[in-house]
Amino acid sequence: MKVRTRRVLVLAFAFLLAACSEQAAEPRPSSAPEVRPSPTATPRPTNAANDVIYLRSVGSGGVTNILAIDARTGETLRTLADGSLSSDRTTLYAPEQISGATETLVHVIDVATSRELRSFTLDGAYRAIWTDSGLTALSRDGSHLALANSPVKIDGDWLTKFAVVDASTGTTNAVFEVKGQSTYGFVAFSPDGRSLYLNQFGEGATKLRVFDVPSATLLPAVTAGGAGLTQNGFRTPGILSPDGRWMFSLDAGSATTNCTSTDGPQCIGNGMPPYVLALDLVSRRMLTLPLPVEQRSGDFEKYLLWSIAIAPDGATAYAINPAIGVIDEIDARQLTLRRAVKIASGRSDPGALAALGQLFFPVAEAKRYITGGAVFSLDGTRIYAAAYNGITVVDAATLGSRIWQKDNREFDALALTADGERLYAVSNASGVISIISTRDGTPLGELKIPAFGQTIVRIDSAR
């Protein structure tokens, strides 16, 4: 039996990140980029790729960096400090705590060269904030930057603080500071920088709130009937529409029920089906779409493997769970379900020995945490999604599917090169990034990664 110790540790760390929404990152002694070539693993000069990939890597104690990795050799070319990336992924805003953690110096850096373009300073100790899917707290128009403190407990209450600053001048526009039993985590930033969306953790629930930047006021998120404001089950990290206005996510619902085997058909279960959430980041309007109740799963392994993909034109969204074996096609503008189709699950046979081991040691098989499990091909005709094992490839027109299992690892985050020829797939269970040809699923090589690989934030192709 193969006991996956690394995988158990990765899962525990990933869920700590999700639950706290990066609430407790340790202060770094320096946030300035460090140019320091070093191998992430034994070099693999036979990898059939000439790309440089930028991986957000979360190491021991929550210390986070962005690694620029040579895809051919596996060498780390540069290490950049954690920060917020511009929407075009060219500029990094990296905060550094200075003056005894009484001030924050924000370095504005050209990502391709690590050259500092400018910097500004603000009062207080702040850090960068991201979502697990890679959304950063820099507004899409580049006008506003949000930063947060690392929450601290004082006299039994949590002190949480956010600051929104002018990204050009560094002038502080608004500050949100609260002390209580709840903490707050970053969810999204409106494209105009006027609305900062936060999750409130505490009081027995996770609730969506909005910080109104012009008035510096924390408000309830606005939605019809309150639907979707309180999280009912595992919720996927948000994915933005192409124009950055809408954010889509999926709540996996709850299989909890008050019915027992003796209640009979008259008992109505109180479990929640999965549902898609669409949040208009500008108007603060939220819509929800329940999915077929039979897509609810009490299998925790399957329950976590939902992903959302948005078509390049923004008109269609897809909710995909290859573990359950379903894909839902959704009108993204009307938020209505067009069709639900069965797809192949892609689960590999673990073999008799592994099955026997799982029988006696069920906890040895840890669960996954998908941070970016689905991407579209450049022409919008295909969807690549993390399957149970390998990659599920879905025809966007017919929703027909096939499985690539030449590399049948369990993947957590996917990213495509600019030419659409290569798919990079992060497997934290295996500690590698696989390189896969999108022509036929042929493996092109792999890269060892030194820590938890949260998301690939940029790829520079064909140097």
Burial status of residue 180 (CB atoms within 10 A of its CB: 0-12, 13-18, 19 or more) = middle
- Dihedral (C-alpha) 340, 341, 344, 345: value to the nearest 10 degrees? 10
Superfamily classification of domain 236-256+271-405: YVTN repeat-like/Quinoprotein amine dehydrogenase (2.130.10.10)
CB neighbours of 189 closer than 8 A, spacing ≥ 6? 135, 136, 137, 138, 139, 140, 144, 146, 195, 196, 197, 281
Q: Which two tokens stand for residue 291?
A: 């999915």
- Dihedral (C-alpha) 358, 363, 368, 369: value to the nearest 10 degrees? 170
Instruction: Provide the 3-class DSSP secondary structure of residue 354.
Output: helix
For 218, phi and psi rounded to 5 degrees? -85, 125
Question: In 301-332, which positions are buried (b, 16+ CB within 10 angstroms) versus exposed (e)?
Answer: ebbbbbbbbbbeebebbbbbbbbbbbbbbbeb
Nearest to 27 by CA among 89, 134, 79, 105: 105
Nearest to 71 by CA among 444, 401, 454, 453: 444
Q: What is the model's pLDDT at position 248? A: 97
Distance CA 250, CA 258 (A): 24
Residue 137 and residue 147 in contact, taking contact as beta carbons nearer than 8 Å? yes
Angle (CA) 43 49 50, round 5°: 90
Q: What is the model's pLDDT at position 347? A: 63
Query: What's the number of CA atoms in the CB half-sphere (13 Å) around residue 409?
Result: 22
Read off the DSSP letter of residue 127: B
Distance CA 409, CA 52 (A): 22
Q: Which residue do the tokens 């909005």 mark?
A: 210
Alpha helices by DSSP H, listed for 334-414, are 352-360
Q: Which residue do the tokens 């098989």 mark?
A: 365
- Give 302-340 as a 3 state SS string: HHCCCEEEECCCCCEEEEEECCCCEEEEEECCCCEEEEE
Q: What is the model's pLDDT at position 229? A: 76
pTM score, whole prediction: 0.84
Distance CA 95, CA 18 (A): 22
> Where do the structural domains in the chain lie, given as residue ranges?
236-256+271-405
Q: Which two tokens stand for residue 272?
A: 């929640």
Residue 217's DSSP bridge partners are: 212
- Strands of 401-404's sheet in order across: 374-376, 382-386, 391-395, 401-404
Q: What is the model's pLDDT at position 360? A: 40
Residue 217 and residue 211 in contact, taking contact as beta carbons nearer than 8 Å? yes
Distance CA 289, CA 336 (A): 7
Nearest to 428 by CA among 442, 443, 414, 444: 414
Q: What is the model's pLDDT at position 203? A: 75
pLDDT per residue of the chain (463 residues) written in tens, 0 to 9: 443 444 444 444 444 444 444 443 333 334 444 444 454 544 445 798 999 999 999 999 889 999 999 999 999 999 999 999 999 999 999 999 999 999 999 999 999 999 999 999 999 999 999 999 999 999 999 999 999 999 999 999 999 999 999 999 999 999 999 999 999 999 999 999 999 999 999 877 888 999 999 999 998 866 555 556 777 778 899 999 999 999 999 998 876 555 555 555 555 556 678 999 999 999 999 999 999 998 988 777 787 899 999 999 999 999 999 889 999 999 999 999 999 999 977 665 444 444 444 444 343 344 578 999 999 999 999 999 999 999 999 999 999 999 998 999 999 999 999 999 999 999 999 999 999 999 999 999 999 999 999 999 999 997 5
Residue 426's DSSP bridge partners are: 413, 433
Distance CA 37, CA 78 (A): 6
